[in-house]
Amino acid sequence: MIWNPNKECMSREQMRALQGKRLQKLVNYVYHNVPFYRNKMQEMNISPDDIRTIDDIVKLPFTTKQDLRDNYPYGLQAAPASEIVRVHASSGTTGNPTIVGYTRKDISVWSEVMARCLTAYGVTREDTFSVSYGYGLFTGGLGAHYGVENLGATVIPTSTGGTEKHIKLLRDLKVTGIACTPSYALYLAETLEKMGLSKDDINLRVGAFGAEPWTENMRKEIEERLGLKGYNIYGLSEIMGPGVSYECSEQNGSHINEDHFYPEIINPETLEQLPYGEQGELVFTTLTKEGMPLLRYRTKDLCTLMDDECACGRTSVRMGRIVGRSDDMLIIRGINVFPSQVESVILEMPEFEPQYMLVVDRVGNLDTIEVQVEVRKDYFTDDMGAMLQMKKRLADRLKGIVSIACDVRLMEPGSIERSQGKSKRVIDKRVLK
């Protein structure tokens, strides 16, 4: 099923024409309403008249997370305060949080794109859907909530926490769909099993997982333990929240709602736009946003874009899985290491729980990386030699994938802290002098 075939199945030429028109309008709008963008454009010697087609987007300035912080709280807001009906904020682990204001129309666009996602996952009005993203300043909870309501399914706003009670509701209300982070889905499976229950005791059939990077192996694991089909949902609060892109039944990349969010891939070093198929940093321009529209926002997410036809009938550009972040890429002994690489290795080995922690340190002048993993109860053995072999197997595979030697530390099952929101996977203790 397709929620909005007019937009989701538009011909490429029509889409590009629409994007061009919307970009022109957007540039005019920010030029006259956001001093930050007007100043930047004047510095670069460009005016709104220079933007005629979507290809002219490369002339426009980039926006970074730092720009959002520097203009805290409302510096990048284009709409007057009277038009803003809601504010979300993304967590600011360092410095100011990022504040994003939405107009009534922004909320309506968001509900529309979310309904497109849910429809692609096969969710219908008949479904009962648990939204287990955190409700609050984080966009996940309310974003998904409005989408489910717009679609007409029944929404159960479970938010995060109280997992045993959540499982009771899943059973008693015969909940068929869930939206949460992949790591919470695994925690849910673990709790279910701890309660002596299994996937056969719940009715979940669809999961919308996002807000943190995950792998194919993680998908298999979640699908197996919860008895559902798991779909990727992508979004970021600066651009909108969940619903920027979504997988269809083909599960070959995530369709971008590109009539609202125009994607580009750039080389994060040279900032040049890269052609489809090449890996680089994902950049979005919010074509229709009123509250806080952004030009060429650098997501720091690394992936590729695909524009070949999709068998599902949608014509929109698709993004591949996020392979890492240009900013949480770890540089260890000069080698680029992505936590997702380590994760994929661990998930392939049944002897370990899908929980891990990377501890990076500097001993003398040498960077060290310790990979902490939990041994699955069934795989623990009294044979010390076999335990040491298990440890070596992981170390060897890691070496093969990330190209540097990792110290593996075997942990007791359940000892690594479980997250209910975005999981923290890296502790970097290096103090650079």
Partner 1 sequence: MTIKQLSIFLENKTGRINDVTRILGANGINMHAFSMAETTDFGILRLIVSEVEKAVDVLRENSFAVKVTDVVCIKCSNTAGSLASILEKLAVQNIFIEYMYAFADGDFANIVIKPNDLEKCVALLDECNCDMRSEL
Closest contact distance (angstroms) between CB of 225 and partner 1 is 18
Closest contact distance (angstroms) between CB of 386 and partner 1 is 11
SS3 142: helix
Q: Spell out the residues 6+ positions from residue 67 whose beta carbon is closer than 8 angstroms to its own.
A: 36, 76
> Cβ closer to partner 1: 287 or 408?
408
> Cβ closer to partner 1: 12 or 392?
392
How far is CA 60 from each of CA 23, 41, 319, 347, rounded to the nearest angstrom?
11, 7, 22, 41
> Cβ closer to partner 1: 72 or 379?
379
Q: Spell out the residues 6+ positions from residue 371 whose beta carbon is closer than 8 angstroms to its own.
A: 342, 346, 356, 357, 358, 394, 398, 406, 407, 408, 409
**Short-list 325, 328, 350, 358, CA closest to 427:** 358
Q: Tell me the C-alpha distance between 378 and 186, whole Å.
A: 18
Alpha-helical regions (H) of 242-376: 339-347
> Cβ closer to partner 1: 108 or 415?
415
Cβ-in-10-Å burial (0-12, 13-18, 19+) of 408 comes to: buried
Q: Name the residues that contact partner 1, by CB under 8 A.
A: 375, 377, 380-384, 387-388, 409-415
> Cβ closer to partner 1: 32 or 409?
409
Closest contact distance (angstroms) between CB of 380 and partner 1 is 4
Closest contact distance (angstroms) between CB of 357 and partner 1 is 13
> Cβ closer to partner 1: 323 or 387?
387
Which amino acid is present at 215? T
Long-range contacts of 352-358 (CB under 8 A, 24+ apart): 352/376, 352/379, 352/394, 353/413, 353/414, 353/416, 354/186, 354/218, 354/221, 355/186, 355/416, 355/418, 356/416, 356/425, 357/416, 357/424, 357/425, 357/426, 357/427, 358/330, 358/425, 358/426, 358/427
> Cβ closer to partner 1: 49 or 383?
383
Closest contact distance (angstroms) between CB of 196 and partner 1 is 12
Closest contact distance (angstroms) between CB of 197 and partner 1 is 16
> Cβ closer to partner 1: 269 or 382?
382
Please work out, in degrees rounded to the nearest 5, the angle formed at the alpha carbon of residue 239 by the alpha carbons of 235 and 244: 35
Closest contact distance (angstroms) between CB of 359 and partner 1 is 12
Alpha-helical regions (H) of 121-247: 139-151, 163-172, 182-194, 216-226
> Cβ closer to partner 1: 174 or 377?
377
> Is there a contact between 114 and 121 (Cβ–Cβ < 8 Å)?
no
> Cβ closer to partner 1: 39 or 415?
415
Closest contact distance (angstroms) between CB of 416 and partner 1 is 11
Cβ-in-10-Å burial (0-12, 13-18, 19+) of 377 comes to: exposed
